[in-house]
Amino acid sequence: MAHRREKLLFLLYALCYALSTIAGKSYYEILQVPKGASDEQIKKAYRKLALKYHPDKNQGNEEANKRFAEISNAYEVLSDGEKRSIYDRHGEEGLKQHAASGGRGGGMGMNIQDIFSS
């Protein structure tokens, strides 16, 4: 049962990620916080929105479930200092590259985008 729940949660996160890419909303917009928001502001905004859109409170409402997944994904990135830094510098594409490299940030400590942006 727990394994099935993990699979569903993963699928929700994947769906959220895909939807946020298509929609083009920034994670800051999703959580309704300014780009320079503190960790506490991000946590507070997440809790408020998560309570509002939680699937237990919105059973059968697919839109609320999608919104909850979107909110959770945004919080996952913005609450992690390393992921947030990558997102702020390189956007979602940078996060994808970071994840694809196993979290190592590219080859031998360098990011090709950093080189070209210099």
Indicate which CATH number applies to the domain containing 42.
1.10.287.110
pLDDT value of position 9: 73
Domain limits for position 60: 2-117
Report which residue type is found at 87: Y
Tally the domains of the chain.
1
Query: Are 30 and 71 within 8 A, CB to CB?
Result: yes
**What is the torsion angle, in degrees rounded to the nearest 10, for the CA atoms of residue 108, residue 80, residue 33 and residue 106?**
10
pLDDT for position 24: 64
Q: How many angstroms separate the CA atoms of 102 and 83, rounded?
A: 13
- Grouped pLDDT means (10 residues each) for the chain, 118 residues: 76 64 78 95 96 93 94 96 93 87 57 50
Euclidean distance between CA atoms 57 and 117, whole angstroms: 45
- pTM assigned to the model: 0.66
